[in-house]
Amino acid sequence: MRILITAGPTREHFDPVRFISNGSTGQMGYAIAAAAAQRGHEVILITGPTQITPPQVDLVRVTSAQQMYREATTRFSDCDAAIMAAAVTDWRPKVRHASKPPKSESELNIELEPTPDICAALGKEKGDRVVIGFALQDVDAHAKAEEKMQAKRCNAIVMNRIEAMQSAASTTEIKVEGQPWREPVTLDKTQSGKIVVELAEELASKRC
């Protein structure tokens, strides 16, 4: 298969040096990409800023959600599946200053607007292809993850709890469309990455 994988955070700048982001390290997305490559799949890894050495795959580096959206929607047309493991920042500053505003004693107010929904865009266009979404949840975790899966038209959703961020291990829960939640498993992210790739293979085999 040819698999598109997103990984890492995005950064939404409000001036040349300051930005809004989150604590994602990209470990999960990179582990999925490495596992997919090891299993013989052709991988396109679209990654936000990380400190991880990438596996030997087709690597596309981006910074913002808009850049990731453009690359993902353009490249998905040649893929069989997409695994959306990136922690895309939900909002971006409406205005990006051309230069760094000086610090002052007064407040700095930043107006925000939503970033593009990359997973939903691929879900809308997927046809017979597979799209696997990710959800990082805390309160009402299962219900919110299921809502996300349906709204974004994913074939399956992989849910992690908040404590998985910046951790080498995570408790992974998977729900496939039309099926009950599978039993949670707590593994390091290398092992979790293999499970997610196997899920993509399973779903793709059923759609052939």
- By annotation, the residues acting in catalysis are 22
C-alpha span between 187 and 86 (Å, rounded): 19
> In angstroms, what CA-CA distances link 4 with 97, 141, 155?
33, 26, 15
C-alpha span between 56 and 43 (Å, rounded): 9
Tokens standing for 124? Answer: 């809308």
For the beta sheet containing 185-188, the strands, ordered from the edge strand earlier in sequence to the opposite edge, are 58-61, 42-47, 2-7, 81-84, 130-137, 156-161, 169-176, 185-188
